[in-house]
Structures are given as structure tokens and as C-alpha cells.
Amino acid sequence: MQLHLRNSRCLVLGAGGFLGKNLCLALAEVGAIVTGFDRGPCPDIFNNRVKWKSGDFTSLQDYADDVAEADFVFHLIATTVPGTSNSDILYDIDSNLKTTVQLLEHCRKYRGKKIIFASSGGAVYGVPTTVPTPETGSTCPISSYGIMKIAIERYLSLFEHLYSLEYRILRIANPFGPFQNGQSHQGAIASFMYRILAGKVIDIWGNGEVVRDYLYVNDVVDALISVCAYDGKHRIFNIGSGEGRSLNQLLKDLSRVTGKQPDVRYHEARKTDVPSIVLDCSLAARELLWHAKTPFETSLNLTKNWMQTQI
Amino acid sequence: MQLHLRNSRCLVLGAGGFLGKNLCLALAEVGAIVTGFDRGPCPDIFNNRVKWKSGDFTSLQDYADDVAEADFVFHLIATTVPGTSNSDILYDIDSNLKTTVQLLEHCRKYRGKKIIFASSGGAVYGVPTTVPTPETGSTCPISSYGIMKIAIERYLSLFEHLYSLEYRILRIANPFGPFQNGQSHQGAIASFMYRILAGKVIDIWGNGEVVRDYLYVNDVVDALISVCAYDGKHRIFNIGSGEGRSLNQLLKDLSRVTGKQPDVRYHEARKTDVPSIVLDCSLAARELLWHAKTPFETSLNLTKNWMQTQI
């Protein structure tokens, strides 16, 4: 267990989401003093282990005091997903980029805070020219979601340059696990698992040969906690399993784990889907001494156990 | 003279600015049908050679019909400059990024239009790792101005990917020449030339050893016109002289050309000034058969002749 965050004050923006819930629980576990911020009421699972602040990320006043008190600010909020972000780009800019700049302008008034930003390993590189893709790979996103992640990364770098605001960025691959909603397009594994268990049809856009880098959420949380203690020169880390799996392969894996046969319908491919992305995570291995530890089969079983409670 | 734009309908957004005025006159010269769009009234120099549309770029209705009629849309509008863009980033996002996305969303409704975007060779690379810097150089801007230029470049690429909207980008170095205002921080040569001729003190931030790539505006206009005919696979071109000059060297050059001794005051360096940037323009030479033709001494004399009419 990592103990460097014991008694550190951690603010988690987006604490009610999939990553946020897992992170808050893990932070509480390692002895951090955790404040969770999100829309809506405090999730039951936090059970007094997390101080809850309900509010709107577009309104600085809703969380300004919490930033003032925090040592670490985890920014996990995203209002869009790659597949839908292109349909209202102005909303994407307003709700993700402008709100984050507002957060940074507020953070820079204080000394000694560190911002940990959840960027996207799947969206920032676009169609990769090198596979597995390192952090230095060219970034040419094919979604507004990815363009906004890159712009936020650049503003973080700018604020360090201008105001010595500290930050770390994790470009996270495709996380899955408990608390990922199977009914809200959050990820293929959650969606497929839910639909198999609930006996519903699975829709796939394209021929199912799209390859992604899936990793268990506990490994992501482990990386988010590890990076807090990192004081080296790097700022951006790929966080993935380093292994590629196609959707068709996933269907076989899920069929094996659930013991059920999926009912699949294939549709025309979408232009926002990168054909293949697998992350080169050797920088995180070297600098953070981190790697994805949970075996894939174990991860799927843990996810299944949780998902069965949600049907 | 390049004749491929004869009778083409060209819309110039930002036609009242330094680049815009020069471009409109050159487009009219090569036989294009030119509409100029900007705030304020039609500049006298256009003298019926340019159809004028006055309006606000934030209001799509002010120029929507002009886009509908155009074959080429030159987007030269920037509401900020690198040195000031960091002081109000939300304004930078609203007035440069969101307005441009609005333009692109409108353009994609039509077939066969080409957008030519004036990006920045001085701001997008940040502190360059390779000098002279090629288009493939890493882009880590140290100003919001540069971050916005990169984000716009990415949205252009996205709109081609999603909607086949055609575009070309010129990353223009430091242009100078007639119509560049010496009193509005638009460029070192204009500002220094004006202040020398007007007998005013010149303020320099840092020790004057900051190096830039200066090129004459006619060469930029030549590139903007050349790229309209380009149908190869590249989208982004550096447009510079390929030669670096320090501010101190510029002062000597201007002193020689004007026959006057500049009165200089040195101040503390600014964090938004890249120490040195010189562009590698070999891609434009190979693909556009373009290079900066006007000798530096000639350019300075032409600029002086114009500036003298403004004192």
C-alpha cells in the first residue's frame, strides 16, 4: 500500500464518476483526507470516508474553497466522450476547456498545490504512427474530445512556465472495472458485460477489429496515487496495459467469463474510432515504477462480480 | 504573377489588418473577386477593388452569406498577440477558438471551399528543440495565443477527417512591411522603425538577443496565394525567411537604413518571449515552389518609405 498520501488533503473533481469513485475510496484507504466534488448527492459507497461537495464545475464558487485547502487536486471531469464530442464542439470548449482554465487561474493563486489531470491515451494520438505509442508520438486527434485534452495539457504546461503551478498528466488508456456504468457508453467492457448479463443485443460499429488497450481501474488508481510522489522532470505518462485487444476478442473473453453467448449486431464504422491504439508505458515503468499489475482474467471476473449486482 | 486565382471568389476575414490589406490588394491584382470582412469601414486604399463587408467575427450572420459565395476563405483574424494573450485566456478562447469553430461548422455545409488559415511560426513551437524548426517540430507554446493556433489547426484537420472540408495552414514567421501599424505592438520592425523615425524611445524586454525570423509581407502574400493551388498531401507549411536576426542586430539595420541613431531602453525579459525561433521552410520550397524572395535590405527600405508617410 502506498502511504505517501497519508494525511494529505486531496480534492477529487469528478468524484461521482467511474474513476472518481474508485480513486476516492483508494485515497481514503491510504489515509488521505478526501473531498469529493461532483454534481448530485454523495454516493452511498463513500459511507463517511469522503467529505462531499455538490456543485457545478462551471461555477468556480462551488469548489473554490476546496481548492484552497487541498494539497492535491485530481481533475477527472470530462463532460463529453470521443464519439459524441464532435456533435457540439462549442459545448465541448465551454464545459471542458474554459472550465479547466478557470480552475488553473484559481490554483495559481496558491503555492505548493499539485494538479493531477486525467488525459486520454485513446484520444490524444489520433491514428497513431507508432504502435505501441509513446508519449512523444504525434498528437493529431480525430475527436474534439482529444483536441480539448491536448489543449488542457498545453495550458497546464503554460501555467507551470508562467506561474510555477505544479502538475502531472496521465494519458489513461481504456479503464474498466467496478462503478463503470454499463448503460452509458462509458467503455466497451462495461457495456458488453452489462448487455451479456442482461441478455441484451450488443451493437458494434465496424467489423469489431478495432484494437484498444484495456486496463483494470485499480491499476489506474495506483498510477494516480503513484504520480503524486513523483518529483522528476517528466510531466506526461501513458497509463495502459501495453496489450491490444480487438472488440471481437473481448466478446470471446466475456463469453468465457460469463458463460453466456453474446448476441451481436454489426453496424457501419464511425469516423471517430481510431482503428488501433496500444500505449507504450515504459516511461511510467521507469519513472513511476508503475505497471498494470492485475491479470486480465482476474480483472474481468472482478468486473463481472460487481456488474451482477447492478442488473 | 500567379494567375490561378483569376475570377476566383476570395473572402478575406481580417481584411482590415496588416496582412489582410496586403493580401486583398494582391488578390485584386491577380484578378480574383475579393470580399474583405472586418470591423470598421472599408480602408481607403482598396478604392473599389475590394467588396467590403463590415461586421463582427463573433456573429456568424455578419459573414455567413459571404462564406457561401466564396471559393477560398482566408482566415487571418486574431484578437490577441502572444505577449498579451495570457492575461485573459477565456477571452482568447471565446474570440479566437470558438469563433473559428463556428466558421468551420458553417463552411462544412458547402462543398468545394478551401480555407487558408494564418497560423503562427513564432508561437506554436514554443521553445524549439530543433533550430531551424521544421513543421514536425514539437509544439509546446508558451502563450495562450500559440495554444489557440494549435487547437485551430487540429480542428481544421478534424473537419477534413469528418466532413472533407479542405484547408491549408501557413505557420507564418514575423512578417513586416507596409500597413503594419508602428504604434500597436504588431511587430518589432514596424514598432522600431516608427519610433526611430518619430524620434521616440525604443523599449526592449530582455537583453535584445532574442532571435526572430523576419520576412517581407509581399513574400507572405505570395505564399498565401501559392498555397491555394496546392493539391498535394501536406497541410501545414512554415513560411519564413529561414534567417535569424536578433533585436540588437535589427536596431543596427534600422539605424543604417534610416540614417538615425535609435534611443533604446532595456527592461526585464518577459516569460512569453521565445528566446530564438527560425523556421525551416524547405517543405514550402519543395511543395509550393515558394521561398522568401525580397532581399532584407530592400524590404527595410520599402517599409521605411511607407512608414514615413505615417509619421
Q: CA-nearest residue of chain A to B91?
A: A98
Q: Give every residue of chain A whose pLDDT is below 50, as ranges.
A: none
Nearest to B24 by CA among B40, B41, B39, B42: B42
Nearest to B72 by CA among B135, B24, B40, B16: B24
- Are B154 and A150 inside 8 Å of each other by CB? yes
Say if A101 is an interface residue toward chain B (CB within 8 Å): yes
Query: With bands split at pLDDT 50, 70 and 90, how would you rate the model's confidence at B272?
Result: confident
Residue B70 has pLDDT above 80, yes or no: yes
Q: CA-nearest residue of chain A to B163?
A: A271
Tell me: the pLDDT tens digits for B235-271? 999 999 999 999 999 999 999 999 999 999 999 998 8
pLDDT of residue B273: 85
* Mean pLDDT score, B19-38: 98
Instruction: Give the A:B interface size as CB pairs under 8 Å.
Output: 68
Nearest-by-Cβ selection for B158 from A144, A155, A158: A144
**What span, in angstroms and rounded, lies between the C-alpha atoms of A57 and A80?**
14
* Cβ contact B121:B215 at 8 Å: no
**What span, in angstroms and rounded, lies between the C-alpha atoms of A78 and B47?**
51
E strands in chain B? 9-13, 33-38, 51-54, 72-75, 114-120, 166-172, 174-176, 202-205, 211-212, 214-216, 236-239, 245-246, 264-267
Tell me: the pLDDT tens digits for B180-232? 999 987 899 999 999 999 999 999 999 999 999 999 999 999 999 999 999 99
Angstrom CA distances, A294 to A234, A297, A302, stand at 25, 8, 10
Q: Which residues of A touch B136 (CB under 8 A)?
A: 138
- Are A155 and B101 inside 8 Å of each other by CB? no
Q: Quick one: B76 exposed, middle or buried, by C-beta within 10 A (0-12, 13-18, 19+)?
A: buried
Query: How many residues does this entry show for chain B?
Result: 311
Residue B1 has pLDDT above 70, yes or no: no
Tell me: the pLDDT tens digits for B114-137? 999 999 999 999 999 999 999 999
Q: Which residues of B touch A98 (CB under 8 A)?
A: 90, 93-94
* Mean pLDDT score, B73-96: 96
Q: Quick one: B81 exposed, middle or buried, by C-beta within 10 A (0-12, 13-18, 19+)?
A: middle
**What span, in angstroms and rounded, lies between the C-alpha atoms of B205 and A104?**
27
Q: Which residues of A touch B141 (CB under 8 A)?
A: 154, 158
Question: Would you tell me how many other CB atoms lie within 10 Å of the CB of residue B7?
Answer: 9
Nearest-by-Cβ selection for A86 from B102, B154, B162: B162
- Are A151 and B155 inside 8 Å of each other by CB? no
**Taking chain B, what is the end-to-end CA distance rounded to the nearest angstrom?**
32
- Are A147 and B142 inside 8 Å of each other by CB? no
Q: List the grid coordinates of A227.
A: 504520480
Say if A286 is an interface residue toward chain B (CB within 8 Å): no
Which residue stretches of chain A are H helix? Answer: 18-29, 64-69, 82-85, 89-92, 99-107, 144-163, 188-197, 217-226, 247-258, 282-287, 296-308
How many angstroms separate the CA of residue B47 from the nearest CA in chain A? 38
**What span, in angstroms and rounded, lies between the C-alpha atoms of A172 and A32?**
23
Q: CA-nearest residue of chain B to A127?
A: B161
Parallel, antiparallel or unpaired: strands A245-246 and A211-212: antiparallel
Neighbouring-strand partners of residue A171: A119, A238
- Are B154 and A162 inside 8 Å of each other by CB? no
- Are A86 and B144 inside 8 Å of each other by CB? no
How many angstroms separate the CA of residue A107 from the nearest CA in chain B? 15
SS3 B172: strand
Nearest to B147 by CA among A30, A101, A214, A256: A101
pLDDT of residue B274: 87
Say if A86 is an interface residue toward chain B (CB within 8 Å): yes
Nearest-by-Cβ selection for B271 from A89, A155, A162: A162
Nearest-by-Cβ selection for A157 from B101, B140, B158: B140
SS3 A72: strand
- Whole-model pTM: value is 0.96
- For chain B positions 125-144, those within 8 Å of chain A (CB to CB) are 136, 138, 140-144
Radius of gyration of chain B from its Cα atoms, rounded to whole angstroms: 19
| Average pLDDT along chain B | 96
pLDDT of residue A1: 56
Best mutation site among A102, A130, A158 for testing chain B: the one with the most B CBs within 10 Å?
Answer: A158
pLDDT of residue A272: 83
Tell me: the pLDDT tens digits for A4-49? 899 999 999 999 999 999 999 999 999 999 999 999 999 999 999 9
**What span, in angstroms and rounded, lies between the C-alpha atoms of A168 and A153?**
9
**What span, in angstroms and rounded, lies between the C-alpha atoms of B289 and A253?**
55
Say if A269 is an interface residue toward chain B (CB within 8 Å): no
Best mutation site among A85, A154, A235 for testing chain B: the one with the most B CBs within 10 Å?
Answer: A154
Residue B3 has pLDDT above 80, yes or no: no
**What span, in angstroms and rounded, lies between the C-alpha atoms of B30 and A75?**
53
Nearest to A50 by CA among A38, A33, A62: A33
How many angstroms separate the CA of residue B152 from the nearest CA in chain A? 9
* Cβ contact A297:A307 at 8 Å: no
Nearest to A106 by CA among A66, A160, A64, A55: A64
Nearest to A160 by CA among B142, B65, B217: B142
Parallel, antiparallel or unpaired: strands B211-212 and B245-246: antiparallel
- Are B158 and A150 inside 8 Å of each other by CB? no
